[in-house]
Structure 1
Amino acid sequence: MRKTNIITQCRTRAASRRSKIIGNHYPEFNISGYTSVDGTVEFYSRINSLLNNSMVVLDFGAGRGSWKEDYSCPYRKSLHDLQGKVKKIVGCDIDEAIYDNPTVDEKVVIKIGEKLPFDDNSFDLIISDFTFEHIENENEIAQEFTRILKAGGWICARTPNKYNYVYILIQLIRNSWHEQILKYVQPLRNEIDVFPTMYRMNSARKIDILFPDDKYENYTYYFNSEPAYFFNNSFLFFIMKIIDSFLPFYLKNNLFIFLKKEI
């Protein structure tokens, strides 16, 4: 019990320091808890613009829905929360933690190497939020997405750009070390939410190959959100922010993938 209290106190202090650092570099953060380059606000604003109440949506790699408890900004949470905005949200994951997810209407465990347990043309929209980097059977997943997505439907994915300098460094680090390193780099990250990375679906070129233009209209774009891996250090945050401002578009830290299946 005492250990739990100490961990909670440490996380609270880390969260307070993180907010202070971000607020110092992005004054608008102090208004309502998000920056002008907030990736979640950008990504889910785009998704919300596509929604209607007749849609059936798949949240691919939904996990335990940790964002529900992690987000401190009500506006970010309201954008991310799609329940009540569509007919049904189905969440799937390889981890049985999906059964604890309060943000989806139907929960399904999937298995690596097997077909997704959904009928052809089942979904109007597929969301994959920071899961593409964990996929090792990328060709099969792309084929399955095409099978279960309705004509005219959308694939909406947010994932790291494998050619950004931060993720190049991460790719040089063994997966077995990620959990320990992230304790220092991202002190607010829960160990339960750390998974092995593959980076096999994390470049614009690979997306072009997996989802060819004879089947999809491709509206993928690069996006630079505020630094995430900065050890809760203000000076490092500043340096990374400066570096990011000089990067060409193809080296920005995130890929926002929006694909519309041909009718």
Structure 2
Amino acid sequence: MTKPSDTIMTIWFPEVGAGGFTSRDGTIEFYSRINALLMPSMTVLDFGGGRGATLTDGDCNYKKKLMTLKGKVRKVIACDVDEAVLQNPGADELVVIRADELLPFADGTFDLIVSDFVFEHIADPALVSKELQRILKPGGWICARTPNKYCLISLVTRLIHNSKHMGILRRVQPERQSIDVFPTVFKLNDKRAITTWFPPDAFDNFTYRYEAEPSYFFNSRAVFALMLLINWLTPLVMK
């Protein structure tokens, strides 16, 4: 069944009709980059993998194939502070962790760590960055996607108490489930923070900005058009 948001998308991005995604799809961009790094011998960690909502709720098969790392590498482990991770179909092993404790993995376990829209929720970047570095093999990759701390959506989100987020998201993203909404703190999602906690003497930093299509638009054509205009007018530092 076609969702209202799909119909709205096709007005500005007619290419959605050929494959189910836009030319500015951030998920396609992010996971294409990850797939380019994968090797069959790798052990991969999905850090903050949740229940794997996009693998079960999405309707674009091409996108699902890109996001599915299980079967492409030796092993995928998904971990999260939420027990919803135990429902994640995209991993060979599922682990519940605690936010204030060391990760339950040995040093140098992973060749690649994926963290998709998680860094904005991390309250203790010092602990997390140290732990990710510890469990990563020498020469390994940390691939993280996170909204810019200074983008419009992040700025608005910071003005709204976390307890109100679900009620608002029901209106702007009706398909979003409450189980997929988590408190945001915005301590690890700008270039300065990334450089601070993943310093040049330990990491080669390939961070870049990507302007995806609007995600929050109340299923309204007018709001979608307004968000496109705002994105176009927004300075690069806020994207």
What range is the shorter-chain TM-score in? over 0.9
- 1:195 has 2:205 as partner: no
**C-alpha separation in 2, matches of 1:127 and 1:190:** 22
Residue in 2 that maps onto 1:238:
225
Shift of 1:157: 0.4
Paired residues for 1:153-232 under 5 Å? 153-232=140-219
Shift of 1:107: 0.8
CA deviation vs aligned residue, 1:209-250 (integer Å, no higher than 9, x gap): 000000000000011110011111101101111221232322
CA deviation vs aligned residue, 1:178-224 (integer Å, no higher than 9, x gap): 01111101111111111111111010110000000000000000111
Counterpart of 2:4 in structure 1: which amino acid? R
Unaligned runs of 5+ residues in structure 1 are 1-11, 253-263
Residue in 2 that maps onto 1:37:
24
CA deviation vs aligned residue, 1:49-86 (integer Å, no higher than 9, x gap): 00000000000001111111221111101100011110
CA deviation vs aligned residue, 1:20-66 (integer Å, no higher than 9, x gap): 00011101111111000000000000000000000000000011111
**C-alpha separation in 1, matches of 2:99 and 2:64:** 30
TM-score of the two chains, using structure 2 as the length reference? 0.98
Secondary structure of 1:28's match?
A: helix
Q: Would you say how many aligned residue pairs link Structure 1 and Structure 2?
A: 239
Residue in 1 that maps onto 2:101:
114
Secondary structure of 1:216's match?
A: coil
- 1:125 has 2:128 as partner: no
Counterpart of 1:196 in structure 2: which amino acid? P
**C-alpha separation in 2, matches of 1:36 and 1:180:** 30
State the identity as a percent.
Answer: 50
Unaligned runs of 5+ residues in structure 2 are none
Structure 1 residue corresponding to 2:71, chosen from 60, 70, 84: 84
Shift of 1:102: 1.1
Shift of 1:94: 0.7
Residue in 2 that maps onto 1:3:
none
Query: Comparing both structures, which one devotes a greater share of its residues to strand?
Result: 1
**C-alpha separation in 2, matches of 1:123 and 1:69:** 25
Counterpart of 1:157 in structure 2: which amino acid? A
Residue in 2 that maps onto 1:94:
81
